[in-house]
């Protein structure tokens, strides 16, 4: 039996997020440039996107470029932006053929104009698709996002349309860049690192975390299925006890 056949189709996470890490180390191990690692990482994006779509996941968010990545060498940033434009253009037809809707979160206005315009065109072109929502986190950092959310709410308080004591978790969620996207049930990080690197800090409060030593360019469909199977082996309690969860399930099905 293949790994895909072992997956319980009734327990598929609605939203999976991935920190794609290890492109540089993959390239270094093989004597290649870091850019070659990023280029090979595009295939891993394709593998994960196809796997997610095939098993019925509705949202897949990929941490493609963080706010901290702007501190990398200029030549690498430029190369990454060119790669983004190339990948978006190349995959646009595939998105349409497979009913995939492209979305993006982050400080998108900080992207180079060509990268932003190509990204915006792909988002507009796929806006009517109803299958997998592929979300690219670009120039994204969770602290940046939360600060922006605080500014929006502070402005509402200053204008008198919101009282400080009335601010709720729902109010904060509603002004994040992910306002229209459900929180991820599963967060995957590749390359053997055990940290979340300023990614979706508010949204992953109750996410299951899955760490794998596999470097991102080697992350195949089978690796994706391993993560899903691991997720399905866990009990999601949201602060409750196992006994409470069991009683809740009995009430639902009786």
Domains and CATH numbers, the chain: 9-253 (3.40.1180.10)
**Active-site annotation holder among 21, 23, 133, 218:** 21
Q: pLDDT tens across 23-37, in order?
A: 999 999 999 999 899
Task: For residues 92 and 77, give the distance between their C-alpha atoms in angstroms, rounded to a whole number.
Answer: 22
- Catalytic choice (8, 23, 69, 98): 69
Q: 8 an active-site residue?
A: no
69 is catalytic: yes
- The pLDDT, as a whole number, for residue 147 is 98
User: What pLDDT shows up at residue 237?
Assistant: 60
pTM strictly above 0.85: yes
Q: Which residue pairs, CB below 8 angstroms and at least 24 apart, start in 186-189?
A: 186/13, 186/15, 186/16, 186/17, 186/210, 186/227, 186/228, 186/231, 187/16, 187/17, 187/18, 187/19, 188/16, 188/17, 188/18, 188/19, 188/212, 188/224, 188/227, 189/18, 189/19, 189/21
The list of the chain residues with pLDDT below 70 reads 1, 236-254
- Per-residue pLDDT of 170-182, as tens digits, reads 999 999 999 999 9
């Amino acid at each position: 039996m293949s790994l895909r056949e072992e997956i319980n189709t009734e327990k598929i996470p609605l939203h999976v997020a991935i920190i794609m890490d290890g492109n540089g180390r993959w390239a270094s191990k093989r004597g290649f440039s870091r850019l070659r690692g990023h280029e090979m990482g595009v295939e891993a994006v394709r593998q994960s996107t196809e796997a997610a779509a095939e098993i019925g996941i509705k949202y897949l968010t990929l941490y493609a470029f963080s706010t901290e990545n702007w501190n990398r060498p200029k030549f690498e940033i430029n190369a990454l932006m060119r790669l983004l434009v190339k990948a978006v253009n190349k995959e646009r037809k595939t998105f349409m053929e497979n009913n995939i809707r492209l979305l993006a979160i982050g400080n998108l206005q900080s992207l180079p104009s060509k990268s932003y315009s190509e990204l915006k065109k792909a988002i507009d072109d796929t806006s009517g698709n109803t299958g997998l929502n592929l979300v690219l986190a670009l120039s994204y950092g969770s602290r940046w996002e939360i600060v922006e959310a605080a500014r929006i709410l502070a402005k509402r308080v200053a204008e008198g349309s919101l009282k400080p004591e009335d601010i709720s978790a729902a109010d904060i969620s509603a002004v994040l860049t992910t306002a229209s996207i459900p929180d991820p049930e599963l967060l995957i990080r590749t390359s053997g690192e055990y940290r979340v690197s300023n990614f979706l800090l508010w949204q992953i409060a109750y996410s299951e975390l899955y760490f794998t030593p596999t470097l991102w360019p080697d992350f195949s469909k089978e690796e994706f299925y391993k993560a899903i199977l691991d997720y399905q082996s866990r009990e999601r309690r949201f602060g409750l006890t196992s006994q409470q969860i069991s009683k809740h399930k009995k009430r639902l099905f009786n």
